[in-house]
Chain A
Amino acid sequence: MRAAKHVAGLLGLMFTSEQALAAYQMNLPPGVTSFSQGAYDIHTMVMWICVVIGAIVFGAMIYSIIYHRKSKGAVSAEFHDNTAIEIIWTVIPFLILIAMAIPATKVLLAMEDTSNSDMSIKVTGYQWKWHYDYLGEDISFFSNISTPDAANLSTNASVKKDDTYLLDVDNRLVIPEDTKVRLLFTSNDVIHAWWVQAFGVKKDAIPGFINESWVNVPDPGVYRGKCAELCGKNHGFMPIVVEVKTKEDYAAWVSGQKTAAAEAAASAEKTWTRADLMSHGEKVYATACGACHQANGEGLPNVFPGLKGSAIATGDIAKHIDVVVNGVSGTAMAAYGPQMNDADLAAVITYERNAWGNDTGDVVQPSDIKAAR
Chain B
Amino acid sequence: MSAVIEEHHDHHDHKPSGIGRWLFSTNHKDIGTMYLWFSFIMFFVGGAMALVIRAELFQPGLQLVEPEFFNQMTTLHGLIMVFGVIMPGFVGLANWMVPMMIGAPDMALPRMNNWSFWLLPGAFGMLIASLIMSLMGMGSAPNFGWTFYAPLSTTYGPASTDYFIFSVHLMGISSIMGAINIIATIMNMRAPGMSYMKMPIFVWTWFITAYLLIAVMPVLAGVVTMMLMDRNFGTSFFNAAGGGDPVLFQHVFWFFGHPEVYIMILPAFGVVSQIVPTFARKKIFGYSSMVYATASIAFLSFIVWAHHMFTTGMPVAGELFFMYATMLIAIPTGVKVFNWVSTMWRGSMTFETPMLFAIGFIFLFTIGGFTGLMMCIAPADFQYHDTYFIVAHFHYVLATGAAFSIMAAVYFWIPKWTGNMYDEKLGKLHFWLTAIGGNILFFPMHFVGLAGMPRRIPDYSLQFAEFNAMATVGAFIFGFSQLIFLYNVIKTIRGGEKATDQVWEGADGLEWTLPSPAPFHSFTTPPTVK
A and B associate in one complex: yes
Interface set of A (CB-CB < 8 Å, partner B) = 8-9, 11-12, 14-17, 19-29, 35-36, 38-39, 42-43, 46-47, 50, 53-54, 57-58, 60-61, 64-65, 68-71, 74-77, 79-82, 85-86, 89-90, 93-94, 97, 100-101, 104-105, 107-109, 111-112, 153-159, 161-167, 185, 189-191, 193, 195, 197, 200-204, 206-209, 211-212, 226-237, 300-303, 330, 332
What's the least CB distance linking B505 to chain A, in Å? 9
Whether A64 contacts B469 in the complex (CB less than 8 A), given A80-B284, A212-B313, A234-B67, comes out as no
Bound complex: CA of A94 vs CA of B333, how far in Å?
12
Q: Interface residues of B, CB < 8 Å — how many?
A: 102
Bound complex: CA of A82 vs CA of B339, how far in Å?
10
Which one, B316, B345, B351, B366, contacts A108 given CB within 8 A?
Answer: B316
Beta-carbon contact of B345 and A161 below 8 Å: no
A196 nearest CB neighbor, chain B only: B452
- B349, CB-defined interface residue at 8 Å: yes
User: With a CB–CB cut-off of 8 A, which chain A residues contact B152?
Assistant: 190-191, 230-232
User: With a CB–CB cut-off of 8 A, which chain B residues contact A155?
Assistant: 62, 66
Which one, B241, B385, B451, contacts A207 given CB within 8 A?
Answer: B241
User: With a CB–CB cut-off of 8 A, which chain A residues contact B330?
Assistant: 93, 97
Bound complex: CA of A332 vs CA of B68, how far in Å?
14
Can you list 18 A-B pairs, Cβ within 8 angstroms, ordered by A? A8-B467, A16-B59, A22-B463, A39-B382, A46-B374, A46-B380, A64-B341, A86-B335, A89-B335, A93-B334, A101-B324, A111-B379, A112-B316, A189-B156, A193-B311, A193-B386, A207-B151, A230-B145
Bound complex: CA of A231 vs CA of B454, how far in Å?
12
User: With a CB–CB cut-off of 8 A, which chain A residues contact B454?
Assistant: 195, 226-228, 236
Which one, A157, A161, A190, A202, contacts B311 given CB within 8 A?
Answer: A202
Bound complex: CA of A27 vs CA of B463, how far in Å?
13
Known: A14-B469, A154-B66. 19 other contacts (CB 8 A): A9-B466, A21-B465, A26-B451, A29-B452, A57-B337, A64-B347, A64-B349, A70-B348, A70-B349, A76-B281, A107-B379, A109-B316, A112-B316, A165-B60, A165-B462, A189-B156, A197-B452, A208-B245, A226-B452
Beta-carbon contact of B461 and A165 below 8 Å: yes
What's the least CB distance linking B431 to chain A, in Å? 14
Beta-carbon contact of B466 and A12 below 8 Å: yes
8 Å CB contacts to A: which residues of B293-337? Answer: 311-313, 316, 319-320, 323-324, 327-328, 330-331, 334-335, 337
Which one, B240, B289, B379, B467, contacts A24 given CB within 8 A?
Answer: B467
Bound complex: CA of A21 vs CA of B60, how far in Å?
11
Beta-carbon contact of A24 and B344 below 8 Å: no
Which one, B319, B374, B451, contacts A50 given CB within 8 A?
Answer: B374
Beta-carbon contact of B58 and A15 below 8 Å: yes
Beta-carbon contact of B458 and A236 below 8 Å: yes
B293 nearest CB neighbor, chain A only: A90
Bound complex: CA of A355 vs CA of B153, how far in Å?
34
What's the least CB distance linking B324 to chain A, in Å? 6
8 Å CB contacts to A: which residues of B250-300? Answer: 280-287, 289
8 Å CB contacts to A: which residues of B212-248? Answer: 240-241, 244-247
Whether A68 contacts B316 in the complex (CB less than 8 A), given A43-B380, A101-B324, A208-B245, comes out as no
Bound complex: CA of A230 vs CA of B362, how far in Å?
32
Bound complex: CA of A82 vs CA of B287, how far in Å?
11
User: With a CB–CB cut-off of 8 A, which chain B residues contact A108?
Assistant: 316, 319-320, 323, 378-379
- B487, CB-defined interface residue at 8 Å: no
Bound complex: CA of A207 vs CA of B152, how far in Å?
11
Bound complex: CA of A234 vs CA of B459, how far in Å?
10
A164 nearest CB neighbor, chain B only: B461
User: With a CB–CB cut-off of 8 A, which chain B residues contact A212?
Assistant: 313
Bound complex: CA of A8 vs CA of B474, how far in Å?
13
- B338, CB-defined interface residue at 8 Å: yes
Q: Across chains A and B, which 6 residue pairs bring their CB atoms closest together, nearest first?
A: A208-B240, A236-B457, A12-B466, A211-B313, A50-B370, A15-B469
